């Protein structure tokens, strides 16, 4: 890393020196072959700097958000944790396209329902993290369905859960219920990142943690391992779904990645 920074600095210094040497030359020197060659070299070095892995990473990370809120990847601790979970969801570790197949099948419908309730689209990734889009999964605590609702919470937000019917397994009905629950959490916390954390650990538990620690920033709170990794998992899944080529899912990249369309062209 130090060698890369030294190289980068030396290239910048070279650009500055060459620019200084030739900025005050007379107009007739424009035909000077040596000057022309040196200016071409300067432009090539500028292009090299723009394309460097460090610059590419910086631009990419600055584009990453969750629910339209910035993810503070300038923090070394946040960056390290994000990269840990991003690597888990990359093709190198998954070695499967199941994630993208499930996303293609279910996420448009989930996103449309969330939008109808005014919920940010990024919450559509919760069922992937919670149940892997498998409605038959039930946790040891009794949470079930796509959104892994506890029975009492499911009933509170309009779902039927009894011996004969379990609407937690109905994607449409459970998504409407999840949207209502997320909206109530936002009214309580006023921050979508905290809403995601509260969805995992429960609103009362998160409020207690915030009160005890005097901190209302998800990325600075000391949380249990599951909740402390929850938003990082959501952001990581979002990245591999929206940028399949960048994260190794090349067979699924039928068009340019979302990040490339928005940010990378500006960098280049």
Domain extent at residue 251: 72-258
Q: What is the mean pLDDT of the chain?
A: 85
Q: Are residues 112 and 34 in the same domain?
A: no
What is the arithmetic mean of pLDDT over 221-227? 97
Helix, strand, coil distribution of the chain in percent, nearest 5: 70, 5, 25
Residues 197 and 59: their CA atoms lie apart, in Å, by: 27
Residue 88 within a domain:
yes
pLDDT top residue among 259 and 81: 81
Dihedral, CA atoms, 258, 260, 262, 263, nearest 10 degrees? Answer: 140
DSSP 45-100: HHHHHHHSHHHHHHHHHHT-EETTEE--TTSHHHHHHHHHHHHHHSHHHH--SHHH
Q: Are residues 93 and 180 in the same domain?
A: yes
Residues 11 and 19: their CA atoms lie apart, in Å, by: 12
CA angle 251, 254, 257 (to 5 degrees): 100
Structure tokens at 242: 């929206």
Q: Are residues 78 and 19 in the same domain?
A: no
Q: Are residues 136 and 254 in the same domain?
A: yes
Q: Are residues 29 and 87 in the same domain?
A: no
Q: Are residues 142 and 251 in the same domain?
A: yes
Residue 59 within a domain:
no
Q: Could you report the per-residue pLDDT of 83-119, keeping only the tens digit for each? A: 999 999 998 888 889 999 999 999 999 999 999 999 9
Q: Are residues 21 and 90 in the same domain?
A: no
The domain that holds 110 is classified in CATH as 1.10.530.10
Q: Are residues 146 and 179 in the same domain?
A: yes
Measured in degrees and rounded to the nearest 5, phi and psi for residue 254 equal: -80, -15
Residue 126 within a domain:
yes
Residue 57 within a domain:
no
Q: Are residues 124 and 22 in the same domain?
A: no
Residue 265 within a domain:
no
Q: Where are the beta strands (DSSP E) in the chain?
A: 65-66, 69-70
Place 58 in a pLDDT band, splitting at 50, 70 and 90. Answer: confident
Measured in degrees and rounded to the nearest 5, phi and psi for residue 66 equal: -130, 120
Q: Could you report the per-residue pLDDT of 148-159, keeping only the tens digit for each? A: 999 999 999 999
Name the DSSP letter for residue 166.
B
Q: Which residues of 205-240 are buried (b: 16+ CB within 10 A; e: fewer)?
A: ebeebbeeeeeeebbebebeeebbbbbbbbbbbbbb
Residue 267 within a domain:
no
Sign, Cα dihedral of 90, 93, 95, 97:
negative
CB atoms within 10 A of CB 250: 10
Report yes or no: 39 and 25 within 8 Å, Cβ to Cβ.
Answer: no
pLDDT-above-70 percentage for the chain: 80
What is the arithmetic mean of pLDDT over 45-61? 74
Q: Are residues 32 and 144 in the same domain?
A: no
**Structural domain tally of the chain?**
2
pLDDT top residue among 3 and 40: 40
Residue 83 within a domain:
yes
Residue 198 within a domain:
yes
pLDDT top residue among 32 and 209: 209
CB atoms within 10 A of CB 180: 15
Cβ contacts of 108 within 8 Å, gap of 6 or more: none
Q: Are residues 36 and 83 in the same domain?
A: no
Q: Are residues 46 and 149 in the same domain?
A: no
With a cut of 90, say whether residue 40 has pLDDT above it. no
């Amino acid at each position: 890393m130090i060698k890369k920074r030294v190289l980068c600095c030396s290239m910048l210094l070279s650009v500055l020196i060459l620019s200084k040497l030739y900025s005050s030359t007379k107009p007739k020197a424009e035909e000077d072959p040596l000057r022309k060659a040196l200016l071409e070299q300067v432009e090539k070095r500028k292009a090299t700097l723009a394309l460097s892995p460090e610059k590419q990473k910086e631009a990419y990370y600055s584009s990453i958000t969750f629910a339209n809120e910035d993810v503070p990847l300038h923090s070394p601790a946040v960056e390290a944790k994000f990269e840990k979970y991003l690597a888990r969801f990359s093709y190198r570790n998954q070695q499967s396209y199941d994630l993208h197949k499930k996303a293609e099948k279910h996420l448009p419908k989930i996103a449309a329902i969330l939008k109808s309730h005014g919920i940010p689209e990024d919450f559509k990734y919760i069922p992937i993290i919670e149940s892997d889009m498998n409605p038959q999964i039930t946790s040891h605590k009794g949470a079930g369905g796509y959104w892994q609702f506890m029975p009492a919470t499911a009933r509170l937000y309009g779902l039927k859960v009894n011996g004969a019917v379990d609407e937690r397994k109905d994607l449409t009905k459970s998504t409407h219920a999840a949207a209502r629950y997320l909206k109530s959490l936002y009214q309580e916390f006023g921050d979508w990142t905290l809403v995601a954390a509260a969805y995992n650990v429960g609103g009362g538990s998160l409020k207690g943690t915030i009160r005890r620690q005097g901190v209302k920033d998800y990325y600075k709170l000391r949380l249990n391992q599951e909740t402390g990794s929850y938003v990082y998992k959501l952001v990581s899944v979002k990245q591999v779904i929206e940028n399949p080529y960048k994260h190794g899912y090349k067979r699924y990249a039928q068009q340019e990645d979302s990040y490339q369309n928005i940010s990378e062209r500006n960098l280049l």
